Amino acid sequence: MSLGLTAPCALPVEARSSKGRAFRLALQIGAEGATFETPLPFEPDTPLELVFELPDGTGPLLVRGRAQLLGEDAEGDGEHGCMAVAFPEASFEVKRTLGQYVTDRLGI
């Protein structure tokens, strides 16, 4: 699974599903997805809504995505949750905002 171009971050994120919510720290974020420090307590492909504010003060953003496995030992083949969320359903506006954050953060 590829999340495209991402930038390092340390963003507190609220992840919501129909079965509950969790708070985690995102380590990388981009227009196509985010990775997390510890697994989210959701099964692979679970539809999620993420709510967070970018370090530059943009937000709060609400991004729709799906829980994804990275193949990390911490995930235990999905037994412990997923350490990434892909954003295939994010709006064009949100993807543009996240893409701009990445280019600014990486200086490209």
Pairing state between β 61-68 and 47-52: antiparallel
Question: Which region, left, alpha or beta, applies to residue 107 given φ > 0 means left and ψ of -120 to 50 means alpha?
Answer: left
> pLDDT at position 70, please?
81
Q: What's the fold here for domain 6-106?
A: Thrombin, subunit H (2.40.10)
> pLDDT at position 66, please?
95
pTM of the model: 0.88
> pLDDT at position 75, please?
65
What confidence category does residue 89 fall into, taking pLDDT thresholds of 50, 70 and 90? confident
> pLDDT at position 80, please?
67
